Amino acid sequence: MSRKLSALAAAAALVTAVVVVANQSAQADDLVTHHEFQANCSVTTHLPDDPIVFPGLPGASHLHTFLGNSSTNARSTNDSLKAGQTNCRTPDDKSAYWFPSVLNGDQVVPPNFPQVIYYKSGILRYQDVVPFPPGIRFVVGSPTASQEEFRTAPGAVEGWECGDSFHNWDIPAYCTPGTQLNVRYQAPSCWNGRDLDSADHRSHMAYPDRASLTCPPSHPVAVPMIEFKMAFPVSGDMSRVRLSSGRGYTWHYDFMNAWDAPTQAALVRHCVNGGLQCDPRGYDLYKPHRGAALGPDYRLPR
């Protein structure tokens, strides 16, 4: 009898151990390490246009490389973008994204594969992030920045990098052949809650406080933090590589929001508020049990 009781006790202990391990595994799977989703968009064109800074004035800007919405030009509006087409992986992201073209001498060096545009939480309480309002637009960084301003900017991440060369605050003079030139830069993610644009195209947005990771009282609405992660197929002697706006520290980019509102809201809710590391479909490869925000066609199920 005692042997039977011992066997039963051992079996019960084994079951308990399995349950504990399973629970620990589930808890580990749900540990929040990221709160983001991606937009993967390709180059559409290169134009000396800027529909935010020089609206309605074709040719008034330095050369820009445009991603996503194929209709973007100097005359673009929120309505025209909504009516346009996009090459972004999520077809209901009709937003316009652009940056100063990278040049090698006088030759444009475009990214040669879909680029990663992250939508993240810039604040500690990622559950409080809300979608961008329709039609918001802003400029990130400055074409007139000094090298020190670029290095110390709140949006600076790692500067320019290639191969094993990191944290360059100008384009490196040399990159190991076969590597790519990369840059990462984050946008402000606190909105004043009123204006879709401002006179300088920046003041209606602000960065979170670095210490507390909260939005300032003047800009209380936490929206997704956009992070451009761009890669350019150029290496070797980089002495002639520059931006159309000047030196590497004049890097900047522009954003005009033309998302389908319910689609953006679903991705923000599932991925950012949900503490996931999502692809453009809103699916976290490391937490498959959480499902996806969008359907197999990368659209919101209707």
> Which helix (H) or strand (E) is 176 found in, with range?
none
Pick out the chain residues at pLDDT < 70.
1-29
Q: How many residues does the chain have?
A: 302
What sign does the CA torsion over 217, 221, 225, 226 have?
A: negative
Backbone φ/ψ region at 260: left (φ over 0), alpha (ψ -120 to 50), beta: beta
- Measure the CA–CA gap between 211 and 124, rounded to whole angstroms: 10
Q: Which tokens in the block code for residue 124?
A: 């500690």
pLDDT, position 29: 58
The reply to whether the predicted model has a pTM over 0.95 is: no
- List the beta bridge partners of residue 47: 64
pLDDT, position 128: 98
pLDDT, position 13: 44
pLDDT, position 1: 44
Place of tokens 């709140």: 154
Nearest to 90 by CA among 269, 287, 297, 231: 297
- List the beta bridge partners of residue 119: 37, 226
Nearest to 53 by CA among 144, 114, 126: 144
DSSP 282: S
- Chain-centroid distance of CA 155 in Å reads 12
pLDDT, position 32: 84
3-class DSSP assignment, residue 287: coil
